[in-house]
Amino acid sequence: MSAINKEYKRVTVKSLVEMKSNNEKISMLTAYDYTMAKIVDSAGIDVILVGDSASNVMAGHETTLPITLDQMIYHASGVVRAARRALIVVDLPFGSYQSDAKEALRSSIRIMKESGGHAVKLEGGKEIKDSIKKILNAGIPVMGHLGLTPQSIYKFGTYTVRAKEDEEAKKLIEDALFLQKSGCFAIVLEKVPAKLAKRVAEKLTIPVIGIGAGNGVDGQVLVLHDLLGMTHEFNPRFLRRYLNLHDLMTEAVGNYITDVKAVDFPNESEQY
């Protein structure tokens, strides 16, 4: 707990840029519901991402593509009701911003109005420049997302490390600079070589938050259910598990079943 800087009463997009200039690393985690967000927020996290990874983690889809805008707003609303300190960033889901800038703005306005989130995140660089401009012009803060962009999984074909080749690395740097110039307040860099991520973080004045991008960036993000060890079949190299909640929960549920079958639960003090 001592590593938490309580100076940021409500973390804002401005405080994140200050953290970067003060060399203070930014902590970010996903959350998709009230109860988990309350725990994560009271632990002192800087940013809660209502990620479209809810599509995998909460709904059991293979990819992030099926989750809808209505579903993202539902998840984000619970998180907003829970969090007192963290900045809340909400993913624009696949199909809610790619077709044109007006639709991107409409989707972002719905997120801000109906969930109460503080910012939106979207995947891509120059190819979505009109959408980014339109959203920012409406006063909505935008976080970029480069490297492995899971909404384009069918274009990539795999979830392997991105930008290992010079050409892709060069495009990634150009896109990062472009997102900064456009007015994005931060960028997520997913699954790229640590050296490249460090280079990007050094080139930019806005924070670069990494996942599978090494420790030379300005902050880290993980999916909460991965960190807690609930998704035990998912084992990427970048993941550090802080708990084995899968086994702990399985054991707890098993004990409950045993107690029910043995008529040991409820006992006398647990009834009226």
Active site residues: 190
Entry field: residues in the chain = 272
Shortest distance, CB of residue 208 to ligand KIV, whole angstroms? 12
Query: Among the candidate windows 46-54, 133-141, 166-174, 229-237, which touches ligand KIV by CB under 6 A?
Result: 46-54
User: If phi over 0 gives left and psi between -120 and 50 gives alpha, with beta otherwise, what is residue 230?
Assistant: alpha
Query: Given candidates 15, 20, 47, 53, which one binds ligand KIV under the rule CB under 6 A?
Result: 53
Contact 100, 130 (CB under 8 A): yes
Residue 176 binds ligand KIV (CB under 6 A):
no
Residue 149 binds ligand KIV (CB under 6 A):
no
Q: Find the helix packing angle between 194-203 and 166-182, rounded to 10°.
A: 30
Contact 20, 67 (CB under 8 A): no
Report helix, strand or coil for 229: coil
Residue 52 binds ligand KIV (CB under 6 A):
yes
The residue number whose beta carbon is nearest to ligand KIV equals 51
Contact 35, 82 (CB under 8 A): yes
Contact 187, 211 (CB under 8 A): no
Residue 46 binds ligand KIV (CB under 6 A):
no
Q: Which is nearer to ligand KIV, 19 or 227 (CB)?
A: 227
Contact 29, 221 (CB under 8 A): yes
Query: Given candidates 15, 27, 30, 151, which one binds ligand KIV under the rule CB under 6 A?
Result: 30
Query: Among the candidate windows 45-53, 94-102, 151-159, 175-183, which touches ligand KIV by CB under 6 A?
Result: 45-53
Q: How many residues bind ligand KIV (CB under 6 A)?
A: 11
Distance CA 131, CA 267 (A): 60
Distance CA 54, CA 56 (A): 5
* Tokens of residue 251, six digits: 């054991």
Residue owning tokens 């998840």: 75
Residue 188 binds ligand KIV (CB under 6 A):
yes
Q: Which is nearer to ligand KIV, 142 or 268 (CB)?
A: 142
Shortest distance, CB of residue 75 to ligand KIV, whole angstroms? 11
Residue 51 binds ligand KIV (CB under 6 A):
yes
Shortest distance, CB of residue 188 to ligand KIV, whole angstroms? 5
Residue 15 binds ligand KIV (CB under 6 A):
no
Query: Given candidates 41, 46, 91, 226, which one binds ligand KIV under the rule CB under 6 A?
Result: 91
**Which 200-229 positions form the footprint of ligand KIV (CB under 6 A)?**
211, 221, 223
Residue 223 amino acid letter: V
Distance CA 168, CA 189 (A): 13
Q: Which is nearer to ligand KIV, 20 or 145 (CB)?
A: 145
> Helix count (H) and strand count (E) of the chain?
11, 8
Which residues lie near ligand KIV (CB under 6 A)?
30, 49, 51-53, 91, 188, 190, 211, 221, 223
